[in-house]
Amino acid sequence: MDLKGKTAIITGSNSGIGLGVARELARAGADVVLNSFTDSSEDHDLARELGAEFGVSARYIKADMSKGEDCRALVEEAGGCDILVNNAGIQHVAGIEEFPVEKWNAILAINLSSAFHTTAAALPGMRKKGWGRVVNIASAHGLTASPFKSAYVAAKHGVVGFTKVTALETAGQGITANAICPGYVLTPLVEAQIPDQMKKHGMDRETVIREVMLERQPSRQFATVEQIGGTTVFLCSPAADQITGTTISVDGGWTAL
């Protein structure tokens, strides 16, 4: 796959899936823009090292995906993009009655509204070029639900719906919009849930991973960030030119149950 000459913005990409996707896009030859809200020297080093490793242009731009104006400014500062990967996301686990309002608002803003803002900012440039790829990192929770994840499930279902509308508004213009729906991928976001789950179930790490976390993932194997990155690269390939407005599950069979 040759993405030479294409520029990809990957939101929330200084760790986890976003970084994995950025690496696979860079491996395929794309210039990449990394993002997070931290703006540390490590963030800039990460971009420099990634660029050197794959021989592409790589830069880091700070933007807080909980703020609409930051989302739009990210696309503007990058000079537009050919490939937009909406990946930034956070999680909070609590029953509906106890769910902190500020967590609900933050999850909806970062996991859902950010995709609206970045897409709105990126589409004019894609339309002008007659080529564009919008890849939204949704979740198995964009297609199915779990208790205690109301905001996350609502936001991810929203992302899937927004993806379909993006596809319809750009159909036939060389632009596609799709959502990747990963099951469990071992990243910092998932890693952070393990101690809580161990405490809740009184289990050791390995048992809680196999019996609780991967209980709904029939393969009983985590998906990898490389696999999510590879799926993104596929969606940017000519083979995927007519794939738009849909979801691709990378979930070890979770949504087949």
Report, as residue numbers or ranges, the catalytic residues: 152
Task: Give CA–CA dist 15/131, Å, rounded.
Answer: 28
**Contact between residue 146 and residue 125 where contact means Cβ atoms under 8 Å apart:** no
User: Could you tell me the smallest distance in angstroms from the CB atom of residue 2 to ligand NAD?
Assistant: 26
Task: Give CA–CA dist 56/11, Å, rounded.
Answer: 18
Work out whether 118 is an interface residue with ligand NAD (CB under 6 A): no
Work out whether 163 is an interface residue with ligand NAD (CB under 6 A): no
Work out whether 139 is an interface residue with ligand NAD (CB under 6 A): yes
Work out whether 212 is an interface residue with ligand NAD (CB under 6 A): no
> Nearest 5°: CA angle at 11, between 228 and 44?
105
Kindly identify the residues of this chain, within the stretch 168-187, that bind ligand NAD according to CB under 6 A. 182, 184-185, 187
**What does the block give as tokens for 12?**
């929330």
Work out whether 209 is an interface residue with ligand NAD (CB under 6 A): no
The residue from 18, 158, 229, 230 that contacts ligand NAD (CB under 6 A) is: 18
Enclosing H/E stretch for 34: strand 31-36
User: Could you tell me the smallest distance in angstroms from the CB atom of residue 111 to ligand NAD?
Assistant: 6
Stretch that binds ligand NAD, among 49-57, 86-94, 115-123, 231-239 (CB under 6 A): 86-94
DSSP output for 60-114: EEE--TTSHHHHHHHHHHTT--SEEEE-------B-TTT--HHHHHHHIIIIIIH
The residue from 6, 7, 14, 233 that contacts ligand NAD (CB under 6 A) is: 14
